[in-house]
Amino acid sequence: MIEVAKFVGCLKEVGIGFFAGVPDSLLKSFCAYVTDTCGENHVIAANEGGAVGLAAGHYLATGKPALAYMQNSGQGNAVNPLCSLADPDVYSIPMVLLVGWRGEPGVKDEPQHVKQGKVTISLFETLGIPTEILPEDESAALELTRKMVEKSKAESRPVALVVRKGLFAEYKLQNKDADIASVRREDAIEGVLRSLPEDAVIVSTTGMISREAYETRERLGQGHECDFLTVGSMGHAIMIALGIAKAQPKRKVYCLDGDGASIMHLGNMAIAGQSGCENLTHIVFNNAAHDSVGGQPTVGGKIDFEKIAEELGYNVLQSPQDQYCGNISVGVNEIADGMKWLVSMAEQAEQREPDGADGLPRKPNFILFKVAKGARKDLGRPKEPPQVNKALFMEMLSK
């Protein structure tokens, strides 16, 4: 096991003093440590490609390589700037990639990590990025880290250090920002699921939101056939929802999204906002954190999602939290009542003249919930594999 303080100390000794990345569960201790201790020399990026960009910019300005950290799920997001910016065939920019290896072959993991786990090393090999798996022994790992940083500098290219499950000794995030609301995310999800029409479709995002939606359905005795759980593909749930909404304009489609996921591919909101699909509702549960992987902050606490959504063309509905005089501590019953009201308003709006005849623009809806970080300790995971979820979902959509 490696103490993160020693690992970061070792990086600093060899000239790596700037860190950018997207949090990962396997790198939780490392992410927490740099969040707590590196101040302005640490940026939590919107996505992994952004982290590579930040590392490149730091090098251009200082002549010193930086470190970009990510879960291997984010390798795809990083590939473009790795190939077309940092590669020796282009600008030849040194940097260290620190990559959490979810789905390592032989290690049990969730289905969304299986494929990515199999190709993590070979993908880096294909990209020509020198890659090493950090050994468990601390001094050997630090030695290898030094060697790889020197290689990155000497050859002026990215190098990758891959981190297995359990490598870093536990370090708990100290500087957790205060919650932006006291409402539990699971209560807000329950309020939503209690109020939607029976045949409404749900597309939920990566992480705890999908897990809580799944368990809430079980608790409410509702089936799972209307739900598409986007267990991987972070940031794309709203595009999946839009694809469905466009193909089935009579179907009500609700996307349950996170702030981290929305920010990861914020451009998707511009496309959804301009889609003219009034059967689509985008609901963002903002806890200003990457809660599912350790609670590291997002910029969600500092930006106004409702204003952004409005500018991008959504019809922003008054959140059930605001219907209660801006009381951000409302409970599940109030949320369900508020949502029922919104659903009935949306239905009335649909009684209008066909598109354009009344001069009113057709817009997708947007609802924001401000919620607390954290989840139940005993929160489970979907029991059915993704392909069963897909089959049931498609069968429901075909009726």
Residue 301 vs 331, nearer CB to ligand TPP: 301
| Nearest distance in Å: CB 53, ligand TPP | 15
The count of other CB atoms within 10 Å of the CB of residue 384 is 13
Which residue in this structure is represented by tokens 């470190």?
A: 67
Residues that bind ligand TPP (CB under 6 A): 22-24, 71, 73-74, 77, 205-209, 234, 258-261, 287, 289-293, 298
| Cα–Cα distance for residue pair 151/145, rounded to 1 Å | 10
Q: At what angle do helices 208-219 and 185-195 cross, to 10 degrees?
A: 50
Closest residue to bound ligand TPP by CB? 258
Least Cβ distance, residue 181 to ligand TPP (angstroms)? 13
What distance in Å separates the CA atoms of residue 306 and residue 322, rounded to the nearest whole number? 12
Q: Which is nearer to ligand TPP, 68 or 149 (CB)?
A: 68
Quick one: CA torsion of 81, 84, 89, 92, rounded to 10 degrees?
-40
Q: Which is nearer to ligand TPP, 51 or 142 (CB)?
A: 51
Q: Cβ of residue 289: shortest distance to ligand TPP, in angstroms? A: 5
Cβ proximity of 242 and 271 under 8 Å: yes
Q: At CA 50, angle to CA 212 and CA 202, rounded to 5?
A: 25
Q: Which is nearer to ligand TPP, 66 or 238 (CB)?
A: 238
Q: Minimum CB separation from ligand TPP for residue 284, in Å? A: 9
Nearer to ligand TPP, 257 or 334 (CB): 257
DSSP 8-state class, residue 2: B
Q: With respect to ligand TPP, which residue has the nearer C-beta, 25 or 248?
A: 25
Q: How far is the CB of 357 from ligand TPP (least distance, A)?
A: 38
Of 113 and 252, nearer to ligand TPP (C-beta) is 113
Shortest distance, CB of residue 73 to ligand TPP, whole angstroms?
4
Burial class (CB in 10 A: 0-12, 13-18, 19+), 310: middle
Distance CA 381, CA 383 (A): 6
Token representation of residue 176: 């957790």
Q: From the CB of 57, what's the least distance to ligand TPP, in Å? A: 20
